[in-house]
Amino acid sequence: MAKRKTLKKEVICWEYHDCKKANCTAYRKKSVKCWLLDGTKCHTGEPLTQSEKFKDYCITCTVYRSFAKSTPPSSLLRICLYLEMVKNLRAQGVKTISSRYLGNALGVKPSQIRKDLSEFNIFGESGFGYNTKSLEHDLCKTLKIEKVPVVLIGCGDWARALTNEPAFNGKRAFFIKDIFAPTYDCKVKTLGDYKILPLSKLLPYINKNHIQIAILATSGASVKNTVEILKNTSIRIILNFSSTRLEVNPGVKVFNFCLEAKLGVVCYYLHNIDLPVLPEHAFL
């Protein structure tokens, strides 16, 4: 019986598969994220683009699945909140912070904060706390926060508001690289400092620039049409600001930001003011 292969913490595809295809773009590369590369030959022997291979091959590959952790840590949302608080404190000139201060500001027990941070090998000093500069660096590294380009589809009020949102202006993790019209016959040509590109250019643009995040800030039939285009691209995450339920390819993650749904929850609590707000309702 052949000995079953066991996966190391980091897996290099050509090592794991004992690949001899020297003309594959992943061959002998130090990068282990072969599913992000165009031109790999691990499945058909023919060079495939990222969008061509992901749905049919990468999503079932042992190497990819070893990296795609099935369950994120329960502390993920809290870690994100800690990071935002630390950034704000650093902007105010604060150099050190205690878990007690963070806990009081966020309504989280100090012991929970220390436990959350320790899961990622982030520790403070007894009697001193955390250096805010080091803590911000460690949290960004933990969350793998880097400058990530996104495309925005839409030209209405939601789209305009998002272009002015600090989270998407490049000062934080994401920046809007370009904006696309939500329909083929869109008459709007500019939005703020952006020139609105025609929808017909969306598919080749995304694949050429290897964009992995799209923001849908449109509504109606244009949502479905846009999603059909995105199915043939390298997009892996969609931020959905419409009220439409999206049907996407396996492996694509959708995060819904439907304002109408949020306001419905707010109205419910307004008329049931004595009920405690559940965490999943507070951070919809």
| Residue range 249-267: mean pLDDT, rounded | 86
pLDDT given at position 72? 60
pLDDT in tens, 212-247: 999 999 888 889 999 999 999 999 999 999 888 899
Max mean pLDDT range (119-123, 178-182, 266-270): 178-182
Chain mean position to CA 13: 24
Res. 279 pLDDT band, cuts 50 70 90: low
pLDDT in tens, 39-51: 787 766 777 776 6
| Residue range 2-8: mean pLDDT, rounded | 40
On the question of pLDDT at 5 being above 60, the answer is no
On the question of pLDDT at 133 being above 90, the answer is yes
CATH 1.10.10.10 location in the chain:
76-143
User: At CA 102, angle to CA 171 and CA 94, rounded to 5?
Assistant: 60
pLDDT given at position 181? 92
Least confident range from 20-24, 136-140, 176-180: namely 20-24
pLDDT given at position 50? 66
1.10.600.10, 3.40.50.300, 1.10.10.10, 3.40.1080.10: which CATH number matches 76-143?
1.10.10.10
On the question of pLDDT at 8 being above 80, the answer is no
CATH 3.40.50.720 location in the chain:
148-262
Res. 3 pLDDT band, cuts 50 70 90: very low
Cross-strand partners of 221: none
On the question of pLDDT at 38 being above 60, the answer is yes
Close Cβ partners of 191 (under 8 Å, ≥ 6 residues apart)? 155, 159, 160, 163, 179
Q: Transcribe 160-182 into DSSP letters.
A: HHHHT-GGGBSSSSEEEEEEE-S
pLDDT given at position 211? 93
69: three-class secondary structure by DSSP: coil
pLDDT given at position 280? 64
Higher per-residue pLDDT: 37 or 226: 226
Higher per-residue pLDDT: 88 or 41: 88
| Residue range 165-181: mean pLDDT, rounded | 83
| Residue range 178-188: mean pLDDT, rounded | 88
| Dihedral Cα 168, 264, 224, 196, nearest 10 deg | -30
Query: Which tokens is 103 given?
Result: 């806990």
Q: Which CATH superfamily is domain 148-262 in?
A: NAD(P)-binding Rossmann-like Domain (3.40.50.720)
Counting Cβ atoms within 10 Å, is residue 249 exposed (0-12), middle (13-18) or buried (19+)?
middle
On the question of pLDDT at 264 being above 70, the answer is yes
On the question of pLDDT at 24 being above 90, the answer is no
| Residue range 29-45: mean pLDDT, rounded | 73
